[in-house]
Structure formats: C-alpha cells, structure tokens
Homo-oligomer: A and B are copies of this chain.
C-alpha cells in the first residue's frame, strides 16, 4: 500500500459537488445507522442526504464500505487509546481496559460491532477497520503475554471476536452497556469462583460487591 492517511490521496481531487454529496451521505448514514443499526435502509440514507440512491451506490459500492467510512474515526480513537494504554505499567490491566473500551464503543455506536465482524471475514474491500483494531490490540496482547497476564494460546482475534460477539447479541437490549460489560468480565475471568465465595456477607467488602453487580468492576482477571 502507498501508505497515506486521510480519506484518500486522489490523483484527481474529487469535484466539489461530489465531495459535498459524499459528506452528506456520511452524515445521513451515521444518523440512520445510529437509529436503526447496521442494516439501515440504504435508500433511506440517500433520501435523508437529499441524494439519489445511485449516488450512494457510486460513492459506497458496498454496505460494508459505507460502514467503514462511518466508523473510521471511532476506530482511530480506539487505536489511539490502545497506544496510550500500551505505555502504562500493568499490561494485563491495560489489555482488559482496552477490551472494555472496545465494548463500550461497540454498544454506544450501533453497527460498529457488525462492521468490525463483517470486515473480519469478508475479503471484499473495506476490511481496513478490522485490520486497524487488530493491529492495535496485538501490541497490547503481546505485552500482556510477556507479563504473563494472558495465556500464550489466546490470540487478539479470539479476544476481539469475543468482544464483538457479546456486543452484537446484546446490542438491542435496553441496558446494553451494562450487560456487555458484565458478560465481558465473565468471559475474561472465567466462570469458576474467583475467591472465597462469601454468600450472605452483609458487608460486601470487595469481592461480593463485584459479584452481584455488573458495575465497571476494575477487577482484572487476576485472582485477587
């Protein structure tokens, strides 16, 4: 790849009206996808943008490409976050925090998880976002592994698949964020009891508190 950054380094810098319509479409798509998820009607998106449907299909030949464009900035933010976290002192916690952040973005931006997963298994153009996320996470996982905070046999793809799977199926529930976080915690820490399972403790000192409620739970998957 020629390795550029921005939208694209067009040999011919896109005509003014084309760019205008492109931007309108992007905005309309963001809106519609936020409301109706990744399967929002393309025609309605075009309609909202005040543009013919043919124009939409010309700018974004596939739904996937549209989604990628819509979520590009969110994905970049996530990658930046990964870079930040990579500087921290606790690789295990950093990875966990980042995965949680991914989940957070996925639930608060309907369609993101879908876009990511579709990019994962579609060799068709537009797998860029998936690749970006994967790269960003790979670094975090590598450090966690070195610090012996993650099994050597787990790949970043596994982890991200899990996160996306959770977010995908929880996406349309009322309190998606809480549920996703809860399930993610479960997946990261395992099902087995973590510590002395105090049942009737009237004092939810530490463990019990996290047990009963989803909460952010800063708990890493380390046994306390």
Contacts and interface: CB of A to CB of B under 8 A. Distances in A.
A220 interface: yes
Interface string A64-96: 000000000000000000000000000010000
Contacts of A154: 186, 191
B221 A121 contact: no
28 contacts: A148-B193, A148-B197, A149-B193, A150-B192, A151-B211, A152-B211, A153-B212, A154-B186, A158-B182, A162-B166, A165-B170, A168-B169, A186-B187, A187-B187, A188-B191, A189-B190, A189-B192, A190-B190, A190-B214, A191-B221, A192-B214, A192-B216, A192-B220, A192-B221, A195-B211, A212-B223, A213-B223, A214-B223
A12 B153 CA distance: 59
A166 B213 CA distance: 23
A168 B168 contact: yes
A138 interface: no
Contacts of A150: 191-193
Interface of A: 92, 117, 121, 148-154, 158-159, 161-162, 164-166, 168-170, 172-173, 182-183, 186-197, 199, 210-214, 216-217, 220-223
Nearest to A190: B190
Nearest to A199: B152
Given A193-B152, A222-B192, A186 B172 contact: no
A221 B187 CA distance: 12
Nearest to A162: B183
The 10 lowest CB-CB distance pairs between A and B, nearest first, are A190-B190, A192-B217, A153-B211, A165-B165, A187-B187, A165-B169, A151-B193, A192-B221, A189-B190, A188-B191
Given A158-B186, A183-B162, A192 B117 contact: no
B183 A158 contact: yes
A169 B161 contact: yes
B186 A162 contact: yes
A29 B16 CA distance: 50
A197 B165 contact: no
A38 B193 CA distance: 36
